[in-house]
Every structure is written in structure tokens, then in C-alpha cells.
Structure 1
Amino acid sequence: MGGCRKYWWTNLIYVNNYVIDDETCMGWSWYLANDMQFYIISPLILLPFNVFAGAACGVVFIAASTAAIWVVDVNHEYSAQAALPFAPPPKDANFTKNLYVPSYTRIGPYVLGLFAGYLLYKTSCKLRIPKAINILGWFLSFSLICTVIYSPYTDGQSHMLSIKESAAYFSFHRTGWGLAMSWIIVSCCTGHGGWINELLSWSGFIPLSRLTYCAYLIHPLIMTTFYMCRRELTYFTQFELIYLFLGHMTMTYGLSFIVSLVFEAPMMGLEKAVFRKGGK
């Protein structure tokens, strides 16, 4: 808790407090700082004098991020399979601070999201995609998703990644995932998503989507409280994991609903009232 008392102010100005001290209060809020930093620099991509300049700026951000991740990983020898007992040891134990949390390692998907949003805005979600291109896009997007998920998998020591292979994985896996998600969003928003769009557009997701921010803040507290209150070791089975997942999810969204009603909804109403009054 010493870090929390010392660096509490970093949350107020969206500085990445986890990089400063990994014992800060609500340590998982580090991504809020990343998101705000990306938001601040987004005009460099969205508001240049022409589309090509903005695209070039975005490509530069992605290329710089990719290069930085590669250099950091090769120098520190972090393995993409570090969770495995027979993974090669890194040079230090600062993976989270050096490669997981910093904003420069996560800007790629954000830039791709800006590109996708700009495309949908300029076309008013009426982009015509030929059927063959649409099928190819879905195939490639699912291939990227599977590659990102299953590349580090191994059932033994037969598929251990080298340091350079791990560096390549860390350098491209988030951007690749963001590219796949961008295609899914563009295809669904332009009417080319088929049954996947119908599933993702289900009205039942709307209430849950409005609670995601509160759920993001509350979820780690629920899990921490649960595990800290246990008096015996957990024997993890498939049933145990499914039960814990459903329990944590139910508790998280239940409390998120209360927190949203007490704090978030009144503040949003106040914000609308202030800006509406200012507009008049």
C-alpha cells in the first residue's frame, strides 16, 4: 500500500502508475492512462491536412511500436511461453513494466481502430464489399485470431519459441488481433456480417455494454476479495473454473449496476445538463 499512498495522484492525471510502482492502488487502472494518452495524440492521425498524411502518421506509430517491442524483448529475452515451467528464463523479472503495460506496446490496435472508424464515418457505413473479398476477409481475420491464440501453445517441449520468435510474436500479436477485430467491425457495420452481425447486435448485450467501465474497475476487486477470503487451496477443474467464472461475472455486473446507478448515471446526467445549458 506504500505505492498507493505515494503515487495516488498519478490516477488523476492519467500517468501510467504501474510503470512507476507495481504496488499502486487499483493497479489494473494502468490501461486508463494508456487510453487517455492515445486519445490525446489521436488528432495527429484524424486531423492532418489530408488523408494520406494521417495514414502515414498512423503507420509510423505502428512501425515505431513494433520496432520498440522487438528491441525490448530481444534485449530482455522475454519468452512468449513464460507461463510454462520449461520456458527459457528471461534476463530480469520486469516483463510487466517493460513490455506488458507501457503505452508504446499497445498503440497498434488503437491506430487500426481509428482507421476503421474513419472509414465507416467517410462511407456512412455504406461500403460495398464484393462477396469474394468479404469471404476472404473473414477467413483471414479468423486465421489471425487463431494464430494469436494458439501460436504459443505447446503440450511439451516440442514447440518452444526462440527469443526472436517470441519477439516476433510480441511485436505483431496485438496489432494482428486489432486488424482482425477491425475487419469484423467494418464488415458487420456495412451489412456484410451475416449471422455474426445478428449475434453481436443482440439487444441483450446493450445493458451489459453500458456497465463495462464499472465492471472493469470492480472485477479485480471481486476476484481479490474471493481468493483472499479462502481458507483452503483451490483444486482447479473445468467445472471449478466454469463455476468461478459465472460467479465472478454475476457478482461483477450486479455490483456494477449499483455503482453505475449511484455514481456514473448521475454524473452523466449532470454532464448533459451542463453542456445543454452551455449550448443555449
Structure 2
Amino acid sequence: MCWILVCHQYETSIAFSVNTFDFLRYQDPWLAQVFTNGWLSVDTFFFLGGLVLTRSLLPNLLASRCLSLIYFYLRRFLRLAPSIALVAGFSATLLRLLSYGPQASLLQAYVDKCRAHWWKDLLFINNYILGTDNILTLNNCLSQCWFTAVYMQLLLAMILLLLLLLLLPISCRKTAGMVVLVTATVAALVVPLVITLVYHLPPSQLPQLLSSEVSEYQRRMMLTPWCRAGPWVVGVWAALLLHYTDSHNINIPKCGVLTGYLVCTAVVMALLGGLYPYNHVWPTRHYTRAVAASYGTLARPSWALCMAWIVFTCHTHHAEVVNQLLSYAAWWPLSRLSFTVYLVGPVVQVWCASVQLTPVYFNYLSKLFECLGVLFISTVLSLVLCCLLERPISSLATALLPYQGGVEGRSNLEAGNLLKTVESEPQHYDNQLISTTTT
């Protein structure tokens, strides 16, 4: 989440930098590719969505609970929509009261945009209704909510496929499910490849692109669920692998684990720096169609595979040091704020940019201070939003639509025990009613 905010912050002050030429060359150092290629961080969330939601929905499939699948989607909608509605409503009304100075028009334009397009974010369709002027920022309120739209659409597709599988006999579901998953995996690779070649798209949203080219890339590739499904499908495969394997009986040699992490590190570095010759306002050379097709098709699934390796080795007790670091207790309350930070952060960034009274001088140290300030303010505001709205609404949705066979909101150990119970004692499990209230 910090990575996403930092990447956004690098783009906020370009309009009033006193050294614009230096700003346009911030991608020149190799390490700056971490900020330029920050879009990979979003694919981590898509991977986690496929992983966690599959583990939550699988017991409902095994226990033939159609209504629980519908309840699951409704709970997700009720968890996300109220927070989006509040932030969009604030942005459309009270946000204008915070503007002053020569850049106040920047915030007023944001307010006007939210007044006209707030409903698209709330219905999770903002990635489809983009307008006709080819300028995407003028046809949406909370531009960051393209992610929640794609997320909910992928979840809806998953639940509809599971409901279709429930219509089949129990003996056929596993085979049919594997056929569907393999088909979805192939489609997640072939569809981006075909779209990239047919529409001559770049490998990513490069800084050298014209506004019309950026719009075309976002419209065809970035904002479409069929082109962002690669990491999600990898998460589904990872969840099935964890479910159908005994973590205590898997023995991987230490050299194999080390080799796997070295390979993952090499892949991550290649994904972050692989476009370095082209990732500049004034590139040293231009990409070819082969580079665009290969990178645009394989980058996201490859990133998700590296994340899957980390999850698998931690789950099977082959990476205790990594597991202890990622399972550190201090991450738990912060992880609860990640969604609200994602909503509030860009609004704070626009607000901070709109109250600048003088041009700013760009350098990496000043950007560090800007990012830390935005992160702190966003975290405080997101804490208030989480405590006053998001968590109470989530608890209310859980009470109105109780869990029946899901593992959402439970610990990894408890979730694993529930999954084993479904397989070993389906009749006993079918009579249980699990109602969890998250506090």
C-alpha cells in the first residue's frame, strides 16, 4: 500500500514543478524503475484476492451451499460500497471547502468530477462507462476505484462459475472445475496477448506515451477484468494447491527453497527493470511488438507466481524467517486499514497538491518527505473511516448474512481445520451454522 502511494505521489506535482525538465527525467536512474513500474503492486492484491477468496468459497462448493455463495458476494458489496460512497460523497461536497490558493481550481475540478460520476464507483462499473472524450480522468470520481470494480467483477465471475458447478453431480464437480480453471488460465494468457497484438499496445503504461495512447492502453488492457485475471487465476491455483496438499508431509531441500527464492528474486528484478531502455520520457530505443506482447502478457502472472512461491514456502514451513516477518503481529491492524488507505490516499494527495502556494523543486529527498506526510495523514483519516464506518458495516453485514461454510475472517489454522472437516465429515459439517462477527 505504501508502494502505491509513493508511485502516485511522484505524479502529483508535475504541473507546478519549478524544474520540470529534471522531473521529466526522474525515471533515468535504474532504481527509479521501482516507482515507474509500481503498477505491479496492484497485481499483488489481485493474487491475494484469488487466493483468499478461493479458500473462503471452497467449503461452500464442497457442502453444496448455493445461498452461501450469494451471501458471500453481498457481504463483499456491503463491505466495500459504504466506504466508497462516503469518500465519494465527501469529495463531491465538503472537499471544496479545503481548497485555497492559486491551485484551488485543481481541487474544484476534482469535486465537479465526483458530482457527476460518483455513482459509477458505487456500482463497480466505472471501468466500463468511460465517456467519449478519451480522457479517463474526466469520467470517473475516485479514479483508484477501478481496482474495486475489476475485483468485484472477477469475484462475481468466480461465484457464477461455482453456482454452475453446483448444478452438476458431486462426482463430476472436481473434473468440471479443473476443466473450467484450465480454460480460464489459458484465456488469462491468450486474451491479453491477442489484444496487445491487435491494437498495437505498449508493454505497459510508459511515460513516453501520448495521452491518447495512454487512454487506449487503459481502456483495452489496464481496466478490463479479462486482462487483469492472470494474477487472480494464479491465486486460485495456489489456494487449491494449499488445500489439497498436506503442509507437514511436503519436504523440499533447503537448496531447493534457496534456489526458488533466488529465481523469484531474479524474476522480480527482471519485471521491475526489464523495460528500462524504453521506460523514459526520452527513451534510448523503442520497444518492438515482440517485447510488448511478451511483457504485457507474462509480467502479471509471473509476478503472481513469485508471490505464490512465498505463500507456499511459508505455509509448508520451509521459510520460517520469511513467515515470521510476514506474520508479525504489528501488520494485522495495519492490514485492516489497507482498503481505507487506498480510498483516502489519492484524495489526500490531490488536496495537498491543490494548496501549494509556490512552485516546488523536485528532488528525491523532497519526494520522500511528501510521501511520508501523505502516508501519515492518510493513515490517520483511514483509521477514523475504518472505525466509524467500514468495520461496523462489515459486522452488520456478517450478522444479517451469516457465514455458512466459509472461512472468511478466520485464522489460517482454523480455516484449514474447517476445510478438512468438510472433506472428512460433510454430513456433520452441513448441519453447522458458522456465524462470525468481525470486530
TM over 0.5: yes
| Aligned: 1:262 with 2:395 | no
Contact kept? 1:74, 1:167, Cα under 8 Å: yes
Give the drift of 1:47. Answer: 8.3
Partner of 1:130, secondary structure, is coil
The alpha-carbon deviation at position 196 of structure 1 amounts to 1.8
| Kept in 2: contact 1:188–1:194 (CA 8 A) | yes
Stretch moving more, 269-278 or 163-172: 269-278
The answer to whether residue 215 in structure 2 is matched with residue 105 in structure 1 is no
The CA distance in 2 between the partners of 1:127 and 1:38, in whole Å, is 33
Residue equivalent to 1:10: 120
Q: 1:71 to 1:261 in 2, by over 3 A?
A: same
Q: What SS does the corresponding residue of 1:94 show, helix, strand or coil?
A: helix
Q: TM-score when scaled to structure 2? A: 0.57
Query: 1:70-121 deviations in whole A, cap 9, x for unaligned?
Result: 2222233333365344x79986842111111111111010011111122222
The one of 139, 149, 156 aligned to 1:33? 149
Q: Structure 2: which 5+ residue stretches go unaligned?
A: 1-110, 166-171, 405-432
Correspondence list, 1:152-171, <5 A = 152-154=275-277, 157-158=283-284, 160-171=286-297
| Deviation of 1:167 (Å) | 1.9
How far apart, in 2, do the equivalents of 1:215 and 1:183 lie?
A: 27
2:360 to 220, 229, 234: 234
Query: Which protein has the larger Cα radius of gyration, Structure 1 or Structure 2?
Result: 2
Taking the TM superposition and a 5 Å limit, the aligned residue runs for 1:128-147 are 128-131=250-253, 132-147=255-270
1:221 paired residue number = 347
TM-aligned CA deviation for residue 143 of structure 1:
2.0
1:9 CA displacement: 3.6
Cα distance in 1 for partners of 2:382, 2:350 equals 16
1:107-163 alpha-carbon deviations (Å, 9 max, x no partner)? 010011111122222336435141143233222222221121111012875554212
- Counting matched residue pairs gives 279
Which is bigger in relative contact order (C-alpha 8 A, separation at least 6)? 2
State how far apart, in whole Å, the 1-side matches of 2:389 and 2:358 are.
Answer: 36
Separation of aligned partners in 2, 1:153 and 1:245: 24
Contact 2:126 2:146 in 1 (8 A): yes
Q: Which of 338, 346, 370 is 1:244 aligned to?
A: 370
In 2, Cα distance between the equivalents of 1:81 and 1:41? 26
Contact 2:127–2:224 under 8 Å retained in 1: no
Seen in structure 2, the aligned counterparts of structure 1 residues 7 and 224 have a Cα distance that, compared at 3 Å, is closer
Q: CA RMSD in A?
A: 3.1
Query: 1:208, 1:227 → 2: CA distance?
Result: 26
